[in-house]
Amino acid sequence: MQKRRWWVRVGVTLALLLVLCPSFVRAYRVAGPSDAPSYLWNDLVLVNMAAYDLNLPFTTRTLISWSTPKAGDMVLLEVPGESYAAFKRIVALPGDRIEMKENHVMVNGMPFTYQALHRAGFDWVPAGNKLGAIVEMEKGSGAVHTITYTPDASPLASFSAITIPSDHYFVLGDNRDHSNDSRSFGAISRERIHGKLVFTFSSARE
């Protein structure tokens, strides 16, 4: 009898985990070229939906917040004015002053650093990812990552310094010529950030 009860408890626990797991961890397909070459179109990625907040399961109601987004985080967010979510990289935090000149970022008067990579080393990337003529490693206040652009290809390659409002974040796509991001819709409010990309299951690069 005791053994049977133990198996019942195990079964109930597993069932609860299967039901509740999507509230905390979800898999997504990358749909678009905006974060290439860091993440490619159709990559299967894992998102930690509880990276910053614990929500009531299957709702957007926050029960507790235990962390804040950091510069360099690739986050899942609601795109202002649109009905879809997207992945974007946080490059500036509340209170920061950010500007961009020819696709190169400066935050609080400190320029990010850039290292050119051989473009031919990315020729294998599928054409749908729309890589630019330039591929660089970008290092700022967050993790080092790869960006791409073509000089003079985008009217959003430069903008004057702006200050990020309280409880807002400035986000960019790593593919600077093909990203709908804070250069277009402005800094996003904290409540629009729903998770952090933490792992890639499968990719065209494998």
Per-residue confidence band for 177, with pLDDT thresholds at 50, 70 and 90: very high
Residue 29 is predicted with a pLDDT of: 94
Tell me: pLDDT of 18 over 70.
no
Rounded distance, CA 99 to CA 50, Å?
31
Domain locations in the chain?
2-202
Token output for 132: 């630019």
Tell me: pLDDT of 201 over 70.
yes
DSSP of 12-59 = HHHHHHHHHHHHHEEEEE--SSTTTTTS-TT-EEEEETTSSEEEPTTS
Q: What is the mean pLDDT of residues 27-50?
A: 95
CATH of domain 2-202: 2.10.109.10
pLDDT tens digits for range 58-95: 556 667 777 899 999 999 999 999 988 999 999 999 99
Q: Which amino acid is at 196?
A: K
**Between 63 and 144, the higher pLDDT residue:** 144
Q: Which amino acid is at 125?
A: V
* 109, burial (CB in 10 Å: exposed 0-12, middle 13-18, buried 19+): exposed
Tell me: pLDDT of 2 over 60.
no
Residue 5 is predicted with a pLDDT of: 53
89 and 74 in contact (C-beta within 8 Å)?
yes
Token output for 116: 């050119």
* pTM given for the model: 0.86
φ/ψ of 165, rounded to 5, equals -65, 165
Rounded distance, CA 6 to CA 143, Å?
45
